[in-house]
């Protein structure tokens, strides 16, 4: 069977071009997304397959930018700490690339789960996403196992399944590059990004038992028109109050809702690109431990984190080196 050759990077020409050598972490949310997490099998030499994967990533990203220039399609690859060591990639490692440590609050827990490779596949066309995932699977399946595959979609005007607009606090324009990419503080990895992901499953039965006013107090915004509550009205344990850690500490979120009606597994795949993982860590501490301690994010009473993994997104120049 002929292999489909499709992995894409496309720019949002009307809004913001991405940095020439960086993977496409600054683009705005697409209509369709596939998230994949792969773990290498034990006791196998995986270096040759990884080299082949890097070649594939570069080749297909370039070709589809020509074939489908307005598809806004891309595939971003992140590499986990243990995989970085197993693949014998350059050292020292990116300064903040570690295995994510679980965060235990008084009631809720941010779990840590293994992840060797993460793929963020997105496009305005579902077929493109499907073919990208297929090409990756063909290469990786002999030496790795896919432990997570989430098919996300745009829900109305970028709302979560909970019914509220998501990503309102995202940086815009050139600030997206500033907050999502490593700078001179780690010169060897400049232009790369830290990638943190969590799969959240929502308890919609309990959520729907709340009135609209009660839901708005959980989030800290109005449901209909996405207006943030005034500081003297917004509850201290609302999601907005705790997840926003300051205008100088932002991340680029590309969250997507997902859902399976028959199993009632409805949720949000949280994905953050950041110039430093410290910012994400602060947000998570606020949410799960609380600020002050015990004042945890009320949204966690309706949303359970099932995964939690940290990756590093290298530049294309680094991927080219890895493919040699």
> Which residues are marked as active site?
166
If we measure between CA atoms, which residue out of 61, 58, 77, 78 comes closest to residue 10? Answer: 61
What is the dihedral angle through the alpha carbons of 210, 215, 218, 224, rounded to the nearest 10 degrees?
180
- Work out the number of other CB atoms within 10 angstroms of the CB of residue 184: 6
DSSP output for 183-202: -GGGGGGTT-EEEEEEEEEE
**Helix residue ranges per DSSP H, 11-125:** 47-67, 81-86
What span, in angstroms and rounded, lies between the C-alpha atoms of 238 and 125? Answer: 35
Angle at 61 between CA 60 and CA 62, to 5 degrees: 90
| Residues in Cβ contact with 261 at an 8 Å cutoff, skipping those fewer than 6 apart | none
Q: Please state the separation of Cα 136 from the chain's center in Å.
A: 18
What span, in angstroms and rounded, lies between the C-alpha atoms of 150 and 40? Answer: 19
For residue 300, give Cα distances in angstroms to 218, 223, 260, 280, 296: 10, 18, 20, 17, 8
Furthest-apart CA atoms within the chain: distance in Å: 63
Positive or negative torsion for Cα 154, 54, 177, 68 = negative
């Amino acid at each position: 069977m002929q292999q489909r050759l499709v992995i894409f990077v496309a720019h949002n020409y009307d809004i913001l071009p991405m940095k020439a050598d960086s993977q496409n972490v600054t683009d705005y949310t697409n209509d369709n997304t596939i998230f994949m997490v792969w773990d290498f099998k034990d006791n196998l030499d995986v270096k040759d397959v990884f080299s082949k994967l890097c070649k594939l990533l570069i080749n297909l990203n370039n070709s589809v930018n020509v074939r489908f220039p307005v598809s806004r399609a891309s595939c971003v690859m992140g590499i986990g700490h243990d995989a970085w060591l197993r693949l014998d990639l350059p050292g020292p490692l990116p300064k903040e690339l570690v295995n994510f440590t679980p965060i235990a609050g008084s009631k809720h827990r941010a779990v840590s789960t293994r992840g060797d490779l993460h793929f963020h596949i997105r496009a305005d066309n579902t077929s493109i996403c499907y073919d990208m995932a297929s090409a990756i699977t063909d290469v990786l399946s002999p030496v790795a196992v896919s432990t997570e595959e989430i098919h996300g979609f745009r829900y109305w005007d970028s709302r979560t399944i909970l019914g509220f607009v998501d990503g309102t606090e995202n940086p815009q324009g050139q600030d997206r590059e500033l907050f999502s990419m490593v700078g001179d503080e780690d010169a060897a990895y400049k232009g790369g990004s830290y990638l943190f992901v969590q799969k959240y499953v929502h308890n919609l039965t309990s959520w729907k038992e709340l009135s609209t006013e009660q839901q708005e107090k959980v989030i800290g915004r109005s449901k209909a028109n996405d207006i943030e509550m005034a500081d003297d009205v917004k509850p201290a344990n609302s999601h907005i109050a705790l997840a926003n850690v300051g205008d100088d500490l932002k991340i680029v979120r590309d969250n997507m809702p997902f859902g399976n009606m028959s199993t009632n597994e409805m949720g949000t795949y949280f994905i953050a690109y950041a110039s430093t993982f410290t910012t994400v860590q602060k947000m998570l501490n606020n949410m799960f431990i609380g600020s002050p301690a015990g004042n945890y994010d009320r949204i966690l009473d309706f949303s359970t984190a099932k995964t939690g993994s940290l990756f590093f997104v290298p530049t294309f120049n680094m991927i080219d080196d890895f493919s040699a």
